[in-house]
Structure 1
Amino acid sequence: MTDPEFRSGFICLVGRPNTGKSTLTNALVGDKVAITSNRPQTTRHAIRGIVTRPDAQLVLVDTPGLHRPRTLLGKRLNDLVLDTLSEVDVICLCIPADEPIGPGDRWIIEQIKPLSRRTKVVGIVTKLDKVGPAKIAEQLMALADVLGPEADVIPVSAKSGKQLDVLADLLVSLCEPGPAFYPDGELTDEPEQVLMAEFIREAALEGVRDELPHSLAVTIEEVIDREGSDPPMVDVHAVLYVERDSQKGIIIGHRGARLKEVGTAARAQIEKLLGCRVYLDLHVKVAKDWQRDPKQLGRLGF
């Protein structure tokens, strides 16, 4: 029998690329379920982070950044976001405190306005740690003005944790009474292989040129338990796909130094995920113009 006081709901975080959605998801969940990067369009699919409290369960859906698409991949990512928005209980629009509300933000607001008749909308001003109180107040008023009087508006800092508890309480209050969707203690419903591929892509995105993030995809080819290993060990074989030979050189680096750094960083995350030692085998391949090729997009999971 469901506790009549217990509330639950699906919350979608939406916004332009690089507005802090993934960092906020991780902060609310209290662990890493979404990869983060200062590169736009880091998130490639809808990731569910689960927040369970004694009085409620929030299922946070972190989505790719909505943008005017220039490739078939971009269009498919936008379609994914819009499909997700139609199925959630609350939509949270993330706007960074240190950037003015611009045409990209207004375009997203136009996309979510038709949904606001039946779905609650919350405006979140993110990255409070980057500006002073006057700028935060100015951004809150600007966001309230574009979203309208029905929407709640709140400032938060995922980095410092400021206002996270206030945001969580607000989201719980907007959910209807209902049961928990996931067992207590579960933080995400992402398959392990998806998370492993994401950790590798995150490591590869660190410190690279602007052109690369959009062109990089990662697949996990095999995950094999190593027989007779004590303590237990897992062999993970993965492929990093880029669109051009020049990008392959960027990933591999001089005498393989860059790829080795990627492997070291990703392996630490994967070992934490799996709870055992990991041998990570990485290869880099060129899949020419895969972002625009329907067959290659399908093969890479899009």
Structure 2
Amino acid sequence: MTDDTARSGDSPSPAWGGPHRAGFLTFVGRPNVGKSTLMNALVGEKVAITSQKPQTTRRAIRGILTRPDGQLVIVDTPGMHRPRTLLGERLNDVVATTLADVDVVGFCVPAGEPIGPGDRYLHGRLDAAKRAKRIAIVTKIDAVPKQRVAEQLLAVSELGDWAAVVPVSAVNRLQLDVLADEALALMPESPQLYPDEEVTDESLEQRIAELIREAALEGAREELPHSLAVTIDDMETEDGLLRIYANVWVERDSQRIIMIGKGGSRLKQVGTTARADIEPLVGSKVYLSLHVKVAKEWQRDPRALNRLGF
């Protein structure tokens, strides 16, 4: 995740008196266990998009939490799953590469769902994180009674040998400080890896493309969420107005019709929703031009995947 020089030299001596720690933390779990929401809550800003649709996260996205005692670089990854397409295989490769490089892995299980074969499969895959310490995280504790949380904590504790087991609610911000404390305590002594003001290493273009895709995912049905991708053609500022020209990609002509909607109604709603998130990010008014294009079966086409950034 970083070269050796990033941790060379003496660690600073923070005013609070302890050693300064910094390193990489990733969350692993089935799709929709709340990994992206948890990262956003810890960072304090929307860095990764969220959706109820599976496989919303499609690459390793870094969010950065900086405190006086240390810095957590949180790597949000796609949910590990059994792939059906070349895209799915590449998403799993992203997870495997991340696991090999991080310092701490947070294994996420929602409080309201029993531990099943998928969780056990993923737990077995943690062996790929040979040098990483492990934390178990029970997510979404706000959604179930306390007794159910206690039962899930016990079940997760029995699943493996953990450095810590932490129940959290990203939505209600419960136990986030505890989780950050536990993760930082497991990090190596190190100077900061990123400047204080940085909350992500994502480019502005990447963040805008993801916000458009998040808006497009809203209300999407059946197979359409998996078939959506977004690219930015151009961005230019004129008289304080940011003009963004973007493409929403689908796999079939029928999906294009659905994405545009009757009289362009759905595409217009996507633009309105995305613009509401983009304007606070860029600090200016935004003109957003969206076009829907078809790339036949792009999830299975290596050249198309490369063009779309996968």
Scaled by the length of structure 1, the TM-score of the pair is 0.96
Question: Is this contact kept in 2: 1:243–1:286, CA < 8 A?
Answer: yes
Alignment of 1:6-21 (within 5 A): 6-21=20-35
In structure 2, the residue matched to 1:2 is 11
User: Is 1:33 aligned to 2:53, yes or no?
Assistant: no
Question: Is this contact kept in 2: 1:18–1:40, CA < 8 A?
Answer: yes
Distance 2:307 2:255 in 1: 20
Alignment of 1:268-287 (within 5 A): 268-287=276-295
Question: Is this contact kept in 2: 1:243–1:290, CA < 8 A?
Answer: yes
- SS of equivalent residue, structure 1 residue 202: helix
Deviations 1:27-51 (A, max 9, x none): 0000100000011100010110000
User: Is 1:216 aligned to 2:228, yes or no?
Assistant: yes
In structure 2, the residue matched to 1:88 is 102
In structure 1, the residue matched to 2:257 is 249
In structure 2, the residue matched to 1:97 is 111
Question: Is this contact kept in 1: 2:58–2:78, CA < 8 A?
Answer: yes
Alignment of 1:55-94 (within 5 A): 55-94=69-108
The alpha-carbon deviation at position 114 of structure 1 amounts to 4.5
Distance 2:128 2:292 in 1: 43
Question: Is this contact kept in 2: 1:39–1:210, CA < 8 A?
Answer: no
Distance 1:3 1:253 in 2: 56
Question: Which letter maps to 1:237?
Answer: Y
Deviations 1:119-172 (A, max 9, x none): 101110101111111111111111111123x44211000000011111111111
Distance 1:292 1:62 in 2: 24
* Compared CA separation, residues 238 and 59, structure 1 to 2 (3 A): same
User: Is 1:205 aligned to 2:204, yes or no?
Assistant: no
Scaled by the length of structure 2, the TM-score of the pair is 0.93
Structure 1: 5+ residue stretches without partners: none
Question: Which letter maps to 1:126?
Answer: T
2:148 paired residue among 135, 145, 150: 135
User: Is 1:119 aligned to 2:135, yes or no?
Assistant: no
Structure 2: 5+ residue stretches without partners: 1-9, 14-18
Question: How many residues in Structure 1 have an aligned counterpart in Structure 2?
Answer: 296
In structure 2, the residue matched to 1:145 is 158
Distance 1:286 1:100 in 2: 40
Question: Is this contact kept in 2: 1:71–1:292, CA < 8 A?
Answer: yes
User: Is 1:180 aligned to 2:188, yes or no?
Assistant: no
The alpha-carbon deviation at position 206 of structure 1 amounts to 0.7
RMSD value, Cα: 1.1
Deviations 1:20-73 (A, max 9, x none): 000000000001000000111000101100000011100000000000111000
Question: Is this contact kept in 1: 2:99–2:128, CA < 8 A?
Answer: no
